[in-house]
Amino acid sequence: MAPVGTPEPILTKLNRSIQAAVSSQVVRDQYLTLGIEAVDKSGPANMAEVMEAERVRLGGLIKAANIKAD
């Protein structure tokens, strides 16, 4: 994630760096110990799909628990 209006070259560089880190077995192993699943999809468009799927999956729980964003 990056602020709205972040230049495309910066987003591309950030995405490459994140993908390199998440592809590392060391990072994947550390994620697993924390209960985090690395997302293999790359790029802002694919991440938007992942975020929307999570919103749909957790939306009912968030609403039922009356969780609000600050």
Q: Residues 26-53: pLDDT tens digits?
A: 988 998 999 887 766 666 777 778 888 8
Question: Among candidates 17, 16, 38, 14, which has minimal Cα distance to 26?
Answer: 38
Q: Are 42 and 15 a contacting pair, CB within 8 Å?
A: yes
pTM, rounded to two decimals: 0.56
Q: What pLDDT does 38 receive?
A: 74
How many percent of the chain have pLDDT more than 90?
24
Q: Which two tokens stand for residue 55?
A: 């919103």
Rounded to whole angstroms, how far apart are CA atoms 57 and 70? 21
**Residues 58-67, buried b or exposed e (16+ Cβ, 10 A)?**
eeeeeeeeee
